[in-house]
Structure 1
Amino acid sequence: MEDLRRVAAYAVENAAEVLEIFERAHPADARPRDALDTVRTFVQGGKRGKALRDAAWAAMRAAQESEAAAASQAARAAMCASSAAYLHPLARATQVRHILGASAHAARAIELAACDAPASGADYLGRAVRRASPGLVEVLRRYPLAPPGGGRVGELMRVIDRRIRGELT
């Protein structure tokens, strides 16, 4: 449970950085914010249960309903943060999405908010890597590298993954 709380803490911190992108586009829609609040409750010792799953699904629906690409990615980051508590202990590359999905979607939200400029996410990528605590790095290293595919978000996840593992500078 301690590992899950570490992963969720990392995910919520990354997703929180881009929440305002969603809220500027949809000021009356609290679903992504609610998802992050639910994750924070879990990180602080709350239960891992229905509230997290419901919050993740609600944030996903907010992402799907948004016509603004950057806002959609920010909501997806919140969804991933809510899902981080469901990291499975089987060492499969697909599980890396639970660890790094929020940071990858947050990076994409920043790129899209800057008119789809990949360079705009470079500062964010550095912050995402610096946020990785030694405990998070230890958890991440139990899993294979992030899987191929996933478009630009998958590419960003692989960059973050390799940088956190110390394979890229």
Structure 2
Amino acid sequence: MGGEKSYFSLTLDTLRILAGWAADCAERALPLFERHAPTDLRPRAAIEGIRAFAGGERRTAQLRTLALAALAAAREVNDPAAAAAARAAGFAASSAYTHPLADVGQTKHILGPAAYAALAVELAGGGDAAIGEAEVRRAVECIPAEARAILLQMPARSPGKTRLDQLMVQLDAGIRSRFVPLGGYNYLTN
């Protein structure tokens, strides 16, 4: 019984909805990258590619190429906030490849764009955790029900050691609970 993989139903239409939300999340942080590397178009191209998929274009290998290019841009930029913004774009492009596998590793395809965007704005704001948490709340408030349903098919993330891990856990918990944590209080979202 242990080691068996559990799969669920996942349509391209649902992936397109997830992709649109992922692009929205990543795009919020994109100016942080472009401020430091104005001639490097790779993260923007990744977001444009995932938007095209969300809009009905085919899911092709080009999306993988765009995702990997944005992640390479993150490694090459010499600013932590800009690097996180580029990673948000890379993960947004990779959201089209979320597998219908009930595995915690797959949650990064869903949570990665929003978590990296939150980290980017937090780092750009001098490391103020409240800035990152506000971005997490915004992402939770905006997630479409279809994208939330994908996450609910997968195991919840466990706490980790890094700030990114913390943001992912907050995002995961907020999406799952339908509550948005605000300053120690929880408010029900619609």
Q: Same fold (TM over 0.5)?
A: yes
Secondary structure at 2:57's aligned position in 1? Answer: coil
Greater fraction of residues in helix: 1
Cα distance in 2 for residues equivalent to 1:147 and 1:75: 24
Deviation of 1:81 (Å) = 0.2
Alignment of 1:84-103 (within 5 A): 84-103=95-114
Greater fraction of residues in strand: 2
Deviation of 1:149 (Å) = 3.1
* Counterpart in the other structure of 1:157: 168
1:112 and 2:129 correspond: no
Cα distance in 2 for residues equivalent to 1:35 and 1:121: 22
Unaligned runs of 5+ in 2: 1-11
Q: How high is the TM-score relative to the length of structure 1? A: 0.95
Alignment of 1:19-168 (within 5 A): 19-149=30-160, 151-166=162-177
Deviation readout 1:36-64 (Å, 9 max, x if unpaired): 00000100111111110110011011000
Worse overlay, 11-20 or 116-125? 116-125
Worse overlay, 104-113 or 132-141? 132-141
Contact 1:94 1:147 in 2 (8 A): no
Deviation of 1:148 (Å) = 4.2
Alignment of 1:3-22 (within 5 A): 3-22=14-33
Q: Percent identity between the aligned chains?
A: 41
Which amino acid counterpart does residue 75 of structure 2 have in structure 1?
Q
Contact 2:18 2:144 in 1 (8 A): no
Secondary structure at 2:78's aligned position in 1? Answer: coil
Cα distance in 1 for residues equivalent to 2:48 and 2:17: 16
Cα distance in 1 for residues equivalent to 2:158 and 2:25: 20
Find runs of 4+ consecutive structure 1 residues off by over 4 angstroms: none
Q: How high is the TM-score relative to the length of structure 2? A: 0.85
Which amino acid counterpart does residue 54 of structure 2 have in structure 1?
V
Contact 1:52 1:82 in 2 (8 A): yes
Deviation of 1:122 (Å) = 2.5
Contact 2:70 2:89 in 1 (8 A): yes
The count of residues paired between Structure 1 and Structure 2 equals: 169
Secondary structure at 1:165's aligned position in 2? Answer: helix
1:39/1:150 Cα in 2 relative to 1: closer, same or farther (>3 Å)?
A: farther
Unaligned runs of 5+ in 1: none
Secondary structure at 2:167's aligned position in 1? Answer: helix
1:150/1:38 Cα in 2 relative to 1: closer, same or farther (>3 Å)?
A: farther
Bigger-Rg structure (1/2): 2
Cα distance in 2 for residues equivalent to 1:67 and 1:51: 26
Cα distance in 1 for residues equivalent to 2:169 and 2:17: 20
Aligned-pair Cα RMSD in Å: 1.3
Cα distance in 1 for residues equivalent to 2:25 and 2:96: 15
